[in-house]
Structure 1
Amino acid sequence: MIGPHDPDGPEIATAPETPQASPWNLPNALTVLRILLVPLFGWLLLTEGGQDTSMRWWALLVFLVAILTDWVDGHLARRQGLITAFGKLMDPIADKALIGTALVGLSLIDLLPWWVTVVILVREVGITLMRFVVIRRGVIPASKGGKLKTVLQAVGLSLVMAPLVGWLGDLGLWVMYAAVLVTVLTGVDYVRQALAPGAARRA
């Protein structure tokens, strides 16, 4: 995603909770909003089998708004000390639901190869589960590769989603191929760090 916290590094899911922070706060409200936007986004994307270009543009707008809420809620939660158990649980769920819906939806309407969707989803779900296990021992530091993966996925999905023609239409697929490569490499690196001796002492 463009500009939000790195999903492979210290984010809301792996940050320490803020003592006495109420779950009724703006960052959590934005997380809930992002979750609510997912079915709307999916419906817009799949309307008329993805052949309705106006609906595709609306789907892209909702997708970008959801991405913006991801950046804003993480920024506010850390800056204002509003990290809660609810946010730590629901923030990564909202992120994966949004990206997963985009991947599956684009594959369903034959705009994105299924192998791309499967590789990215297997990596994202696997690393997310591993991260919740590793957090008990320590936090794996954020990586530049993780940030690049996030940006490539967001840009690639947005370009594929937009009803563009010519080289702009092809560009989205090439960006997604690059995203797959970086996604796999950063996933392997995360597993290597998580299993390395002394990982529990990292913070």
Structure 2
Amino acid sequence: MSAQPPSGPVVPRARVANLANFLTGIRLVLVPVFLLFLFTGDGHESASRITAFVIFAVAVVTDRLDGSLARTYGMVTEFGKLADPIADKMLIGAALIGLSMLGDLPWWVTVVILVREIGITVLRFAVLRRGVIPASRGGKLKTLVQAVAIGLFVLPLHNWPAPWLTVAWAAMWAAIVLTVLTGIDYVVSAVRDSRARSAGR
């Protein structure tokens, strides 16, 4: 007797070549372009820094768009799950390390943020096969505040009135606090989820 086909509608798998993944690819390409303008000349040329800011802002927008498109139109793929966080961390990491190399941002800030981001990314990949822990509201707020804070430091603040540097540091301190708190929250959620799965076996 032949096997019966599974009942219910068959959900087609999303194609890797879709708009969401294309935007992720653009973000990856923009990282070296961003660094090129960030380090142009002595790294403190106003026109180049403003151009670097624009590139950084475009890359951040693609991050918001690709995730929204993937969820809304069923474009989620295994490639996207892997490439999207890598593209995000490359952009943030390149900006932070670049700013620290130029002396515009203390290295301890870069280390704190990158240790959290890389650690959580590794943890995400570790639990990927057992399910994805969705980003919390705090995590989304952290991402937004990080982007704003880093973007402000990319701008040529040394040529701007003093209050702008104060605003930039206020945003960066908010980003640091959210980075640490959401990192702790994510680890706690992952441990709780792992224990719940173990108890359910």
User: 5+ residue gaps in structure 2?
Assistant: 1-10
- Number of residues of Structure 1 aligned to a counterpart in Structure 2: 184
Q: In the alignment, what sits opposite 1:116? A: 109
Q: In the alignment, what sits opposite 1:157? A: 150
Paired residue type of 2:182: T
Paired residue type of 1:118: V
1:137/1:199 contact within 8 Å kept: no
**Measured at CA, do residues 181 and 199 of structure 1 come closer, stay the same or move farther in structure 2, by a change above 3 Å?**
farther
Paired residue type of 2:124: R
2:45/2:156 contact within 8 Å kept: no
Which of these residues, 82, 85, 91, is aligned with residue 78 of structure 2? 85
Paired residue type of 1:61: V
Which of these residues, 54, 57, 64, is aligned with residue 57 of structure 2? 64
Q: In the alignment, what sits opposite 1:177? A: 173
Q: In the alignment, what sits opposite 2:23? A: 30
Which of these residues, 168, 185, 196, is aligned with residue 164 of structure 2? 168
TM-align CA RMSD: 1.7
Sequence identity of aligned pairs in percent?
Answer: 53
The question of 1:49 aligning with 2:42 is answered yes
1:199 Cα deviation after fit: 5.9
For residues 100 and 133 of structure 2, what CA distance do their matches in structure 1 show? 32
Paired residue type of 1:39: P
**Measured at CA, do residues 155 and 48 of structure 1 come closer, stay the same or move farther in structure 2, by a change above 3 Å?**
same
Paired residue type of 2:189: Q
- Determine helix, strand or coil for the equivalent of 2:130: coil
**Measured at CA, do residues 137 and 23 of structure 1 come closer, stay the same or move farther in structure 2, by a change above 3 Å?**
closer
> What TM-score, normalized by structure 2, do the two folds share?
0.86
Paired residue type of 1:107: S
Q: In the alignment, what sits opposite 2:183? A: 187
For residues 171 and 77 of structure 2, what CA distance do their matches in structure 1 show? 35
Which of these residues, 182, 195, 198, is aligned with residue 196 of structure 2? 198
User: 5+ residue gaps in structure 1?
Assistant: 1-17
1:45/1:56 contact within 8 Å kept: yes
1:69 Cα deviation after fit: 0.9
Once the two structures are superposed, residues 18-45 of structure 1 have per-residue CA deviations (whole angstroms, 9 ceiling, x without a partner) of 7432211111111111100000001101
For residues 170 and 86 of structure 1, what CA distance do their matches in structure 2 show? 40
**Measured at CA, do residues 156 and 199 of structure 1 come closer, stay the same or move farther in structure 2, by a change above 3 Å?**
farther
Once the two structures are superposed, residues 27-64 of structure 1 have per-residue CA deviations (whole angstroms, 9 ceiling, x without a partner) of 11111111000000011011123211100000000000
Q: In the alignment, what sits opposite 2:7? A: none
